[in-house]
Every structure is written in structure tokens, then in C-alpha cells.
Structure 1
Amino acid sequence: MPWKHLVVCGCLFWPPLPAIAHPNDSIVPERPKPTPYGFQISRVKDLQQRSVGPWDLDDGTGTGLPVADYLRVVQGREREGGAYDTQLVEPLHDLGRAYQAGGRHDEALATFRRALHLNRINGGLYNSAQLPLMNDMIDSYLVLGDLDAADQLYDWRFRVQQQAHSPGQPEMQQAVSEYVDWQRQAYLQGITGVTDEGFRRLLTIYEAHSAQIEQLEEAGDRGAAYREALYNRLEVEYLISQYDGEKVPAVQLNISGWGGTTDELATSTSIEAERFRQLREYNLRNGINTARRIVDLEDSAEQPDPVARARARLAAGDWYQWWGLTARARQNYEEAWAIFDGDESETTDPDDLFSRPVELPDTRVFHPDGIAPSEDARARAVVSLRVSRDGRAREIEVVEQEPPEDMGARVVLYRLLRDVRFRPVVRNGQTQSVAGVVREYRYQY
């Protein structure tokens, strides 16, 4: 990815950007406030529909036989071929899974590591036959709570998957999806890994999606995988928009005359920090460009699908709405309504598309799905509110609250709801204010 500037001296800080014009953006409003829906506040209904992640494990599947039986198979193979016989890989894998099924994860990991070592002796560091072993090892690391080890193995597994699968293959799509979802979860839960710089995970997610997009473009593939990659990259823009900054060490580079030992100065930290700084600086523009590519892609299809075209405009409208560009958001919402209104299909009622306000972003990108439990106090509240035509909560009334009479929890609730951005209701092709919206929320305070 090209970048224009090298690095500034000292340390990099990323405070919120001021609401001023930028030479690369016609409009740069104030950065969205850090109260993302799904992270600090969520509808109870959405929490009940939580997606299942790789940390939701089922240890009751079993492997078919007791541990002792698999152990005898391993011992028999060792007597025939020795301790380094590569034909031990499969029996060791079976033995490890038997340990795992019985909850003996330390023993399972020791067995998996031995099998993995033998596998690499025979097939090399990047052979795809080791992927099932890696999958099971990750499961055991997560059960044991060794998140740093799981994190490192996720990275190595993804390298192997990139060697094993081509862009556009279903296996590669699944690999990217699992890898970036882990990175997202680890970022939201504050898992540090090798470094405590959370921006690295966001950069990793963004670049994984961007690489997939570029590879599919080079292959001339504009199909479902390409569309999904574009939507995924737009989704990570929401995470980047809410990044609240951290101090990152940088180095001083003397452009006019290097002098001295320069290799140790040009560290990866400075390069990655600069790449992310630019992603954050141009976050609004990058999201707009990705949304426009989706819209253009759906509009230019040989047989345009009205559902896909409307969805693309919803995504674009949501991004504008997220940034407070309500006029542009309204234009996209009303275009989506018009697409459904004009397609003459009984299955695409335009009013159904916008029948209720929707908290933004309309995605689970800010939902940490439970790698580690949150220690924050949580409250629950049922509220009645009006959502204005510009997507803001107004006339907020608390109907129920837990804990009751806790003014601190109530103050936080009002603050959060005032900053939540909604996709407004559209009726007869126009955005409308709607009152009497009842929501049940869980939130941190």
C-alpha cells in the first residue's frame, strides 16, 4: 500500500480530527463519538441472537474410542517405525482429540505438538495437512484461556492457508473470515498478544480484506466473494472510526542523509503506525469510496438485482449517517426506497425496508462475542423514544431500569442514546420522524 509520508519525530498520537476541510475531502465533519452501538450499548434482542464464534466450543463430540485404545495404536506404531515415524501423525492426532474430548487439554496439546512436528518433518512448514491439527490446538488453547498462544497460532495458520488456497476459493474465503473475526474479537476484548498496540489488529483486518479485493480483481472475479470482501472492508471502517488513540513509538528518519546505522531505525513499527495513521485520517473518504464501489458494482450488473442494489445504498447511507452527513444519507435511503417501489415485485415492499429505525452500524462488528468476560457493571433499561428524521434519539423516557433508582446508570443511558445513530424510517419515499419507539437495552456504565 503506497504512502506519501515517512514518519514524524518522537511519538505518534491520534486525537480526534477537527471539523475542518481537508485537501482530499470536500467535507470532514467531527469524528463520530466513541459510543458504538453493540459495544457499550446493545438491544437485548440482539444479544440473544449472538453469533457463534470459534471460542464457543463443544467438548462433548468425542472421538469414538477411549484414550487407552488410541494410546495402544500409537505405541504399536512406535514399536514398528520408531518415535519419528511420520505415519504416527494420524494416530497422534486421534489420541490428542481423545484427550481433548475428555477435557484433558494440556495432554491434548502436548500430543498435537508432537504430531505437528512430525507432520512438518515430512511435509514442510507450510503444508496444508497440518491445518486440522492447528484447528484442534486452537480449540484447546481457547478452553485453557491461553489467548496469546491461540493468537500466535491463528497467525501461523493463516499463513499456511494463504499458501494452500487461491483467492476466490471457498476455503480461502472461509480462512479470511475466521482470521479477521479472531482479530476483531481480540481487539474488542483487549487481547495484547506480542504487542499492546491495538491499532495493529485493525490494520491487519483492513489489509486482509484489501488483499482479497485486489487478488479477486486481478483474477477478474466480480462475483459473490468480491462483493463480500467489499462489504467486509466497509465494516472494518467502522472500527477504525472509533479507534480512540494510543501512544505508539516512532523513529526519526533523516531523508537528506542517512548516516550511521539506518537498518535499525526503519522499523516495522514506524511503517505500520504510519499506514494506520493514514487509514484513520482518511477513514471517511475510504468508507465512501468502498460504498460507492459496491453501489456501482450492483448497478452495472448484467441483470441488476433490486435487493442487492437497495442493500448497497443502505450500506452507503449508513456510512454517511454514521459520520453525521444526514443529507447524503437521506439521499441514499430514499434511492433504496425508490428501487423497491419501482421494481413491481410483491416481495419487495419499500415500506417494509424502512418500517422501523435501526441502530447503526447495522452489523455485529462492535459485538465482542465473549472470548473473555467483561468486568464492567451492566444495566438494563426499557426506554421509549422518538427517532428524528436525521436519525437521532429524542424525547427519551425510561420505562424500566435495572438497577432501579441508580442515577449514575440513568445518566449514562441518556448520554449513550443521544450519541447512537439510527437509520431513520422512510415512508412514501421520504425520511420521517417516528415517536413511540420502544427498546430494551443492556449497557455498560
Structure 2
Amino acid sequence: MSRSSAGGWTVAKATVALCVALVARPAHPHAGADAVEPDATALMELGRLQYAQREFASAQVSFSRAVEQIERAHDPLASELIEPLVALGDAQVGAGRFEQASQSFARAVSIVRREGGVNDARQLVPLEKMADAQAFSGQMQAAAGSLKYFERVSEATYGAQSRPFGEKLTRVADRLCQFGFYFDGRSRHRRALGILDGADTAEIDALRSTARCNLYEISAFAIVTPAQLPEQLRGVAGRPQHFNADSTSFRTNVVRLMRYESEQALTRAARLALASETMPASEKVQVLLEAGDWFQMRDHVRTARGYYEQVLLLMRTGDDARTTLLSSPVMLMYAPPPLSLLNEFERSEATTRRFVVAQFEVRADGRVQSERVIARDATKTMVDETLSALRAARYRPRFVNGKPEDTLKVTYRQIFLQ
């Protein structure tokens, strides 16, 4: 540990000690509001330090006690509660208590509305956090409602044609797509792009988000892509029979899902990124990778290669020369075996874990060949489904001296829960 980091850690420990001393100090039985407030302040400081150390359960206790202190000093609708309630909600999210978190954020929103009206901009932070907590707890309709209210407050705050509102609208659209409201998300992406036309990085972000929405939509068919959702949001995945990887129509159906609107968005984003004089090389690389990956998944290998070659050029000339970025293959699209989806979200101790380990070659065009099983604790059906899924997978190939190359002996481990 360096001297500076050690010194910082000592300061943090001393601050915690001070907070604990303040928290532990008994209040005089006849003390008024001014005597209680320092204890709430100390509790908040302690909670922030605990949260920074990822001690979410402890932080939750500290923030809860701060809320109680303020309620006793003021009242249950005091504006002083807004910050502690938001902090409490953050700690509850960290601890995985999403329903409790959504209630904490909702209470903060209610206090703001009561004090400042339905369009008070102070609602924006807790509203956005509340939508995420609702989604993680499975309340998708409620989450969508919170986002739409967030949109309304943003429009009232910044103006319907302002760049800040366009950026907020992009965030609303992205989350709606994550939560499964693809039509609503796409309509807001279109509106955001109309507002942000010519806004450089903000327009690029909206264009990338437009394509990401399409990848979220594909994930609803239990097909893994670079925009794969957290499992808490995705729920138990299902897939129609004609989307199984061993179906002859699988690729046709997947390509049909990849909207031309999204393809145009990524193409424009890449063009704007290359032309930008302010965007760092590292960010340009990410935009170009997303465009290349899109065309790679569509089997437009020559177009994808053009974007990857531009990435290599930027890595040689830019400030962020990550030479290993394209040095090994990366899985871009994979339809997990149907049997692996049956108990995907079961994590009980009684669950039996089976596996198939396959080895294969990733060709220069990103396709898989010569797949074979090298280890397994699974049935023949599980093995067959795994090999079929790998044959339908698509990879970003590795590049050697600026050219895509075959990669031998790539391995993949597929887990089945029973």
C-alpha cells in the first residue's frame, strides 16, 4: 500500500471513529431539534463510508437510523428526509432488497412533490432509481410508469427541444427497452434523435442506444448478445421452437429480428464518431466495435471487417492503444441450449449442476467448426444441444497483423441446472 493510500485509509478510519462517537452519544432527554441533528449527520457520514466499502447491510442500518432521527426532530414529510431516503434506497439496492428500495425512493419522490409540485426537478434522481428498483423486483409496469413520469418532469424542467431533455429521453428509451417495452422505447429513441440531431456525442449515444434496444429485444428470445440483460431483469427466458439453434430457420429468424433501423443507427454513429474532433480514441473504438459486431452477427463479414480494421488503426494512432483488444475471439451471439434454460434461475442447494465442455475452431469469418466434447457430466441430449448451439454461434475473430485469422482449440463450458 502506498503512503498516500495508507494515509487516506487512516483518515477514513478516523472519520468512522468520529461518526461512531457522535452516533453513540446519548441525547439529552429534553434536547430539541438542534441537539438531535448532529447525530443524523454523523449517521449519514458513517453510512456513506460503509456504502463506499460495499457494506450495504451496515449502511442500510445507518441510513435508517438517520431517517428516524430526522423524523423525530422534524416530521415524516420534512424535506430534510429526501437525501437520507435516497441514500437508504441505494443501500437497499446494494443489499438486494429491491422492493424496500423502491419504497424508499417513492417516499422521497412524494416529499418532493408535496413541497415543490409535480414537476419539481429534484424528483429526477429518485425517480430514475425507483424505476430500476421496481424493475429488479419484477414490477415492470410500475417501472415503466416511473420512467414516463421521469420523462414528463425532464421535459418540464429542460424544455421539449433542449439537448438536456434529449439526453434524458435517451436514458428513458434505453431503460424502457431493457424492461421489455420495445415499442415505447423505440418511439422515444426516434424523438430523442430528432432533438439531438447534430449534437455530436449526445447524438452518437442516442444512436447506439437505438441499436442496443434491438439487442435487448433479441434477448427476449433467450439469445445472448453483447447487450445481454442482467438476469434479474430478464426473468425466466423462453424461446419459440423455431428459434432453437438446431432449427434450419434459426439464422433466418435471427436476421429478421435485427432491424434495419438499428443498422442505420450504428452506421451513422460510426461515421459521426470517426468525424468527431472531440471524442477520445477509446470511445471511437467502442462505437466502431459495436458497428462491426452488428454486421458480424448478421454474417456481413466483409463490412464487419472494415470496422474492425478501423479499430486497429485507431489503436495504433490513438492515446488508448489496447493492442490485445482484437487478439482473441469474442462470442457475440449464442442461443443457449433449451435444456439449459429450464432451471436457469434456480439457485437452491438441491439443484444439480451438470456441464459440457466443448472445444472448437473459430474461423476467420467468426463461425464455429470442428466442435467436439472434451469433458462432460451431462446426458447425450445436453451434449447434442450444446454442439448445435455452438454451431449457430457467432464470434468476433482474432486479428493477426491486421487480418482475421482462424483460432484453434477455443473452449466453452455450458452449464445445465437440474
Q: Same fold (TM over 0.5)?
A: yes
Please give the alpha-carbon distance, in whole angstroms, between the structure 2 residues aligned to 1:137 and 1:290: 30
Structure 2 residue 400 is matched with structure 1 residue 400: no
Structure 2 residue 357 is matched with structure 1 residue 357: no
Match of 2:401?
428
Q: Structure 2 matches for 1:46-195, cutoff 5 A?
A: 58=56, 60-61=58-59, 62-63=62-63, 65=65, 69-74=69-74, 88-91=78-81, 116=109, 119-131=112-124, 134=127, 146-165=139-158, 167-169=162-164, 173=167, 176-177=170-171, 179-180=172-173, 182-187=175-180
Q: Deviations over 1:201-225 (max 9, x none)?
A: 11223333333332222xx421x33
The change in CA–CA distance for 1:88 and 1:112 in structure 2 (over 3 A counts) is: farther
SS of the counterpart of 2:199? coil
Q: What is the TM-score when the length of structure 2 is the normalising length?
A: 0.58
Please give the alpha-carbon distance, in whole angstroms, between the structure 2 residues aligned to 1:209 and 1:297: 17
The change in CA–CA distance for 1:302 and 1:385 in structure 2 (over 3 A counts) is: same
Would you say the 8 A contact 1:63–1:98 is kept in 2? yes
Richer in helix (by share): 2
> How much identity, in percent, do the aligned residues show?
21
Deviation for aligned residue 1:309? 5.1
Please give the alpha-carbon distance, in whole angstroms, between the structure 2 residues aligned to 1:127 and 1:216: 24
Would you say the 8 A contact 1:230–1:290 is kept in 2? yes
Please give the alpha-carbon distance, in whole angstroms, between the structure 1 residues aligned to 2:389 and 2:345: 18
Deviation for aligned residue 1:121? 4.7
Would you say the 8 A contact 1:318–1:361 is kept in 2? no
Please give the alpha-carbon distance, in whole angstroms, between the structure 2 residues aligned to 1:108 and 1:317: 39
Deviation for aligned residue 1:152? 2.7
Q: Deviations over 1:79-134 (max 9, x none)?
A: xxxxxxxx744458858977997999999988876775564355332222334554
The change in CA–CA distance for 1:162 and 1:334 in structure 2 (over 3 A counts) is: same
Runs of 5+ consecutive residues of structure 2 not aligned to the other structure: 1-53, 222-254, 335-343
Deviation for aligned residue 1:423? 0.9
Q: Deviations over 1:177-202 (max 9, x none)?
A: 3x455434433xxxxxxxxxxxxx11
Please give the alpha-carbon distance, in whole angstroms, between the structure 1 residues aligned to 2:280 and 2:98: 49
Would you say the 8 A contact 2:356–2:378 is kept in 1? no
The change in CA–CA distance for 1:149 and 1:64 in structure 2 (over 3 A counts) is: closer
Q: Structure 2 matches for 1:15-414, cutoff 5 A?
A: 58=56, 60-61=58-59, 62-63=62-63, 65=65, 69-74=69-74, 88-91=78-81, 116=109, 119-131=112-124, 134=127, 146-165=139-158, 167-169=162-164, 173=167, 176-177=170-171, 179-180=172-173, 182-187=175-180, 201-217=181-197, 220-222=198-200, 224-240=201-217, 283-302=258-277, 307=282, 310-338=285-313, 340=315, 343=317, 348=321, 352-360=324-332, 374-375=345-346, 380-401=355-376, 404-414=377-387
Aligned length: 314
The change in CA–CA distance for 1:443 and 1:433 in structure 2 (over 3 A counts) is: farther
The change in CA–CA distance for 1:139 and 1:213 in structure 2 (over 3 A counts) is: closer
SS of the counterpart of 2:153? helix
| RMSD over equivalenced CA pairs, Å | 4.6
SS of the counterpart of 2:179? helix
The change in CA–CA distance for 1:110 and 1:89 in structure 2 (over 3 A counts) is: farther
Please give the alpha-carbon distance, in whole angstroms, between the structure 2 residues aligned to 1:307 and 1:99: 34
Deviation for aligned residue 1:306? 5.4
Highest relative contact order (Cα 8 Å, sep 6+), 1 or 2?
Answer: 1
Would you say the 8 A contact 1:298–1:305 is kept in 2? no
SS of the counterpart of 2:324? helix
Deviation for aligned residue 1:168? 4.2
Report the residue type matching 1:213 in the other structure. L
Report the residue type matching 2:407 in the other structure. V
Match of 1:264?
none
Please give the alpha-carbon distance, in whole angstroms, between the structure 2 residues aligned to 1:334 and 1:96: 45
Deviation for aligned residue 1:359? 1.0
Deviation for aligned residue 1:146? 4.8
Please give the alpha-carbon distance, in whole angstroms, between the structure 2 residues aligned to 1:311 and 1:429: 18
Runs of 5+ consecutive residues of structure 1 not aligned to the other structure: 1-55, 79-86, 188-200, 245-279, 363-372
Please give the alpha-carbon distance, in whole angstroms, between the structure 1 residues aligned to 2:195 and 2:55: 33
Would you say the 8 A contact 1:381–1:442 is kept in 2? yes
Deviation for aligned residue 1:425? 1.8
Please give the alpha-carbon distance, in whole angstroms, between the structure 2 residues aligned to 1:335 and 1:303: 18
